[in-house]
Amino acid sequence: MCVIDHFFTSLPPAEYLPTYFLIFLLKVVKTLALLSTRLDVGGILVRAFVEQNLCGRLMLLFRNPTHTVLESVLTFVENFLTRGNADQKQVLLDNQVLHHLRLVTDNPAWDNEYLLTGQDRAAEALGDFARHSISWRDLVVNNGADLIPLFEVLRCLLTNAVNLEQESMRVARTIGYLCFGTPSPPFDKLRPSIPILRFLINQVEPDIGERAHPAIKHACLIIASLARGGLDPINALIEGNMCPMLVMLLAHPNSEVVASVLKVVESFLKYGTADQIQVLHDNQVLQRILEILINHNHLPPLEVRSACRVIANIATYQPIQIQSMVDAAIYPSIIQISINQEVGETKYEATYAISAAAKRGSHEQIRYLVDQGAIEAISGGLLSGGYGRRASCFQGLHNILRVGEAHKVDGVNVYKQMVIESGGLARIKSQRDDADVGEMARRLLTSYWPGESMI
């Protein structure tokens, strides 16, 4: 190590290197790259790299346009990043590694095939830095005026890919590391990723669609994350013509892809404006979700659960959309899932979706839900697992009974009798001393069955 340190101390600028010296340089850098594969956290080698400032001196070699030098330095950085501890990785940052990696990705003169491979690896290394923490992600995102050159490298990687599904996943992971996390990065920095994401989700041809599903799934999760930024990101996704492709992917044969697309739908409906949400409706998104619910017996549980969760969240965050779901005939199918499904997560999610609508629906909408069997479904959910689900069922049932009071038949709240017949009253009474929902249970009994509250 001391010999290598002495070598770097006397190293002249790359442009003045004679041929024999360049050959020696290549051997030294290759040796360092090989040594870096043997780094162990806290070990002698990694401490020597830090103490002798070899990191800082190697960073200067990023400017060397020799393919072998660049590849060896990148190998060193990758191994240091994956094998060093937090303090040792910080040494790379202190030596401006992000700046030097951006010099590689941003250099338009590097059109040599081998150097383009170096740009690909530099882009991936930037993503690996970003994934370590939110603060490091922000350092990567904010290093330089914009991320356009970095995204251009990723676009070229896809364009020139020999193994498209493999490179698609590399690109999707790198973009994900730049996008994921709270708080989100400034969207203007991420906007150039939209065309790449569009390419990734458009891999639906029969010969590659199934093999590409990990990248499609990952791209959809990124899109969902971007959409949580609200007006501007959702507008960019709409202008990028994402909605037709996303809705089409709800019929994808892979359930993980469908579940990730449903997260995009959820983000649109939670954070979008009425006009933006209408774009999804214009692309028949509810009709696609209805197909999932109708065919639930023939689909993986993940897909059905995700569809039910989206319906619940639409009612929770956008009550104005409940009527759209009524018009699309969503609720009859989801009520049947709640009533007939075996006890488990799918049944719970379906019941939660119904109770969410009952909590926030208008009188007319609630009467419609009751006609479809909502009381039996919600009564069955009063004993479901989790405080949030049980509380939602109690609140939904309370709202239904209020509507029944407002629309009595011959002076009788017929919804009370329906609750009794569905076993709801017995379940309410069984939980009046419950630590979580006991107060809700007692309130229902006092309001609608005062004679039962003391039994």
The pLDDT tens digits for 70-87 are 787 888 788 778 777 788
Residue 61 lies in a domain: yes
CATH for 33: 1.25.10.10
Residue 183 lies in a domain: no
Dist. CA 153–CA 169, nearest whole Å: 15
pLDDT in the model for residue 64: 65
pLDDT in the model for residue 33: 65
pLDDT in the model for residue 160: 87
Contact 353, 334 (CB under 8 A): yes
Residue 328 lies in a domain: no
How many independent structural domains does the chain possess?
A: 1
Residue 30 lies in a domain: yes
Domain that holds residue 69: 1-145
CB count in 10 Å sphere of residue 16: 8
Torsion sign across C-alpha atoms 33, 34, 40, 42 = negative
Residue 37 lies in a domain: yes
pLDDT in the model for residue 5: 52
pLDDT in the model for residue 20: 46
Dist. CA 212–CA 163, nearest whole Å: 11
Residue 128 lies in a domain: yes
Dist. CA 127–CA 175, nearest whole Å: 7
Dist. CA 221–CA 179, nearest whole Å: 10
Pick out the chain residues at pLDDT < 50.
3, 7-8, 10-12, 14-20, 41, 206-207, 209
pLDDT in the model for residue 332: 98
pLDDT in the model for residue 116: 64
Residue 96 lies in a domain: yes
Torsion sign across C-alpha atoms 300, 304, 306, 307 = positive
pLDDT in the model for residue 373: 98
Residue 214 lies in a domain: no
pLDDT in the model for residue 205: 54
